[in-house]
Every structure is written in C-alpha cells, then in structure tokens.
Amino acid sequence: MRQQSLRWHPSSCSSRNQWPLTPHDAMRPHGIRLPHAEEMPVTPPHTAMPPPDTRHILIVEDEPALREAYAEALGMQGYAVLTAANGEDALLVLEGNAVDLVLSDLKMPRLGGEEMLREITLRGLSPAVIFLTGYGTIESAVNCLKLGAADYLLKPFDMLQLFKKIALELASGSCLRSKGGRVREIESFSERLRGQNDSAEVFKVLLTQVQRTLAPQAMALFSCSGQAGALSPLFLWGPSFRECPQTRSWLLEKVALVLGQCGAMVLGPQMGKRVEDLREGVRLGSAAVVPIVGMRGVYGVLALGRDQGSTPYTREDLRMLNVYTGHAAPFLESILSSQRFRGISAEVVTSYAQAVEAKDIYTRGHSERVSGYATLLGQALGVADRDLEILRTAGILHDIGKIGIPDGILNKPSGLTPEEFEIMKRHPVVGRDIISRVSSLEEVVPLVYHHHEWFNGQGYPTGSSGADIPLLARILSVADGFEALTSIRSYHEAMTVSQAKQVLSEGAGRQWDPEIVDAWIWQLRDDTLPEISEFKGAPLDLR
C-alpha cells in the first residue's frame, strides 16, 4: 500500500482531535452527541444481553477458582452458564444440553481443548468455541482455528475483552468457521507482525492487511501515545477523509463514541440510515470503526469508509476488523513495554545494585553476573526479547531488598540462626515493595519477589511450587544459585563449574525447575564459566 502524506495535523484540527484516554474510562469529549439508535454500537460494556434461555455458555476450565470467576461474571451479564472441569465432562454436558458457545481452556487433564474440539466436530455438535490460552500455546490456538474454533483470547485478559468476543460471536456467528480462507489470512498476518520491532511498522502491517482484505476507500488511524494518553491522527488515506471537512468532523465524533463505549460500530444502509443522512455533507456510504485495545489501555482507533454506491460494510466485516486489531494490539504492547525498559537510566538501576553490594562484602559483582547468566539462560530457552530485558533487569535488582537486612546478618561468617534466617527471608518482600513503586519496573516485580521459591514448594516467601512460580523467576533462580555456588561467600569457598553443575543436578526437581537446570548444564558443557560481557546491552549498560 502506498502511504499518502498526512495532511490533517493535530494543530489544524478542532480541540476534539485530542483528549486524554484511560483504559477503563475513556470519556466522551464535550460537544460529542449521543448516537442515534440506528447506529447500533456492537459491544458497549453495558449492552443488554440476550435472554438467558436462548444464550447458554459452557465454561470448561480445570482451575476451580477461574471456573467460578468466569461463571459469576457471565451470569451477571445475563447468560445461562454451565461448567465443566475438563474436556470429557464438557462433552457430557454438550450431549445433554443446548449450548450456544463454549469457553474453554486449552491445557487440561482428561481431554484437553484441542482434543475436545475434535470430538465436538466428530459428534456433530454445533456450539461455537472460544479458547483461552496462555503464553506458549498460541500456536495450539491457531491450530484450533483450523479445526473450526471461533476465536481465542490470550491470558491474562480484561473481562471486558471476554465480553466483547462473546457478544460478537453470538451476534454475528463465526465468520472464521464459515470462511476457512480467513484462518490462513490471520496466520499470514500474524507472521508478518512477529517480524516487527517498531510500532510504526506494526501499524503499517495492520493497514496493509486491512486495505487488502476489507477493501476500504478511506482509512483513518489514530494513535494513543504519551503519558497523558493523548489521541491524535496518525494516518489519513482516501478523499473522503482527507479532503472533506464534514467527514473529518463526523469521524472524530465516531472515534470519540467508540472510545467512550469501549466498543466497535458499523454504520450503513443495512442499519436503517445511510451514513450521509446523519450529517449533511458526509461523503460516505458505510463505515466501520474499532478501537485497538491491549491489556494496559487503548493504543489507537482504526476507521474504514466506503463511498456511496459501494458495497456497505457488514457486521462480519467488523468482526474481521476486530480480529486484525486484536492481533496487532499485543505486538504494540510488547514494543511499547520494551521501549519503557530502554528508557530506564542505567545509573539509577546500577545504583540500586551498588547500594546492596556496599552492604554485603561477599557479593561484589554478584548482581551483574546473575543478570548475565539469566540472560544467557533465557536465550538458550528461547524466551522473547522483551522477557530477556526483564531477566536482565531483574538480575541486577533481585537482591535490592537486602538493603533492609542488618549488616551483621548479611556478613555473618557462620550459619544463620533460625531467627536470623527469618529476617533474611524478608528481603524478597522488601525488594518487591521497593520496585513496585517504579511503574517502569512493574514486570520485574514478580521475579524479585519469587526468586527464592523452590520447585517443590519449600522455598519463600509464598511457598509456591512448579508452574505456579513465574517462568522468568524460575530462570533467575537457577542463575542466582549457580552464581552463588561459583563465588566466594562467608560460609563457603567458590566451587568449580563441574562441582556447581553437580549441585544443580541434585537440586533439580527439588529446588530448581529440572528442565531449566538441564538447559543450563548444557550451556556449561565445557565446564567453564560463561562469557557474559556480550549480554550487557539494552536496557542496561553496565560496563
């Protein structure tokens, strides 16, 4: 797509082209009228749901707390809710009940989500299926789309996102199932997004995809950026949006309306009124407007228009536009998160580590080495670039809570008494409390808090075990343990790499995640300390 120059600048527009946004309370600017009933916004947060006797939802989730939370939330929305703890139980429920939609986890004992979907198809059952998937199972979710699933939602998510997907599915049916070619379009689109590391490039991929598949004759993209969350026009394309002041004014109202309702809308003759009838001079036959919403807020709004006499946009088109913006939002979120990390001052962060090491004479350079080891181990495990930045930063800051531990305990040459050990165990909590005050470090907090948990649940401060310990915290724990073993401490001499590997192997499955230990031992197969200087990059320059 050939991008045309942006002729409509914020400075030349009315004050309505810019206003503060918040994720859950995007306010309608002064002077923006309420919508006509014929405009039919699709998913405002308080949309009246269909009667419960005609809309039954089955929740399939093996975690009781999550299952109950979903059931309560959907019940309050007016749905009739059924529940099952696994795929086998879900099939029994489906055989005996009329269910409109299944909301299911992917990873479950006794028949997982993918196998359950195959059985639903084989048995000729007809509910739409939306999968809830966590990190690492996106490919499985795409496979399920190929098998006929309606959609998927990435955990963690806001309940409003879930309501939106359910409402769209029940209102319009699954265009993904009825048009198998769309699945391939989405896969290809996602692949192109994965290669981008700049928000402008993500927007470009999104606009190119939308222009190719939804055939707009006008497009407008508004970005939401900056600390105040100001919304401003980023891209205008097509005569209707670029050359017609009445259409631009009308468009701003629709963007404000969409944001105020945290929903999406489609307008056209099939809604009972032509768009141009809503205001004299508007040169459009139909339009579709959707927000680009992530977990941390609104990243923008995308509006498409078709001229009078062209095929109008439908709810199915709106659904596909929601799918495209929904896929782009996590990539934008990841990029912006990485940019926040790069903005952290190296001097500020290293001063935290230096303050700790000034108290503990035996750990000079410990944090820097843990940071390097954790980054190297994360790379070996294939974690995302953003997670490598989180690991690198957490390695520097993981012992910041020791600022609150008395020097006599930190530097004691003999073993700690039970009372002293209880004091030492406070440092992850103190570290969490310190770092949580810095908004740009929020993703580091779980690593600092949980890096002393044990895989068998015998660690501290929470006694979490196995997969309940965040993955990055488990990686950091192995790096921290290895560095402690191979360094001189008040209570032991430094071990060789070979000796440290033996200790890690013996503690695998007890103190440390065995898969992570195996990956680290493979990295140490030459029995030499890793070279970590090459991992001292963004966001921290520690050299």
Give the pLDDT confidence score for residue 48 in this predicted structure.
35
pLDDT tens, residue by residue, 266-323: 665 444 344 444 444 556 778 888 888 877 777 888 888 887 777 888 877 887 888 8
pLDDT tens digits, one per residue of 332-365: 877 777 666 655 544 565 576 677 767 766 666 8
Instruction: Output the average pLDDT for the chain.
Output: 75
CA distances from 34 to 13, 246, 253, 284 (A): 21, 18, 9, 20
Q: What is the pLDDT of residue 246?
A: 67
Q: pTM of the predicted model, to two decimals?
A: 0.43
- What does the block give as tokens for 15? 């004050």
pLDDT at position 152: 81
CB-based burial, 75-93: b 16+ in 10 Å, e otherwise: eebebbbbbbbbbbbbbeb
Q: Longest C-alpha distance within the chain, in Å?
A: 85
> Greater confidence, 305 or 47?
305
pLDDT beyond 90 at 141? no
Structural domains of the chain, with CATH = 1-31+179-342 (3.30.450.40), 47-176 (3.40.50.2300), 344-535 (1.10.3210.10)
Q: Is the pLDDT of residue 249 over 80?
A: no
The reported pLDDT for the residue numbered 34 is 25
Q: Which residues contact 403 (CB under 8 A, 6 or more apart)?
A: 355, 356, 359, 430, 434
Reply yes or no on whether the pLDDT at 5 is more than 50: no
Question: What is the mean predicted confidence (pLDDT) over 107-135?
Answer: 85
User: Please, how many CA atoms are within 13 Å of residue 538, restricted to the half-sphere of its CB?
Assistant: 9
Backbone angles phi, psi at 101, to 5 degrees: -150, 140
pLDDT at 456: 96
What pLDDT does residue 27 have? 27
Residue 394: which pLDDT band, with cuts at 50, 70 and 90?
A: very high
pLDDT score at 38: 31
- pLDDT-derived band at 198, boundaries 50, 70, 90: confident
Summarised one tens digit per residue, pLDDT across range 145-195 is 777 788 888 777 778 778 878 877 776 554 444 445 566 677 778 888 887
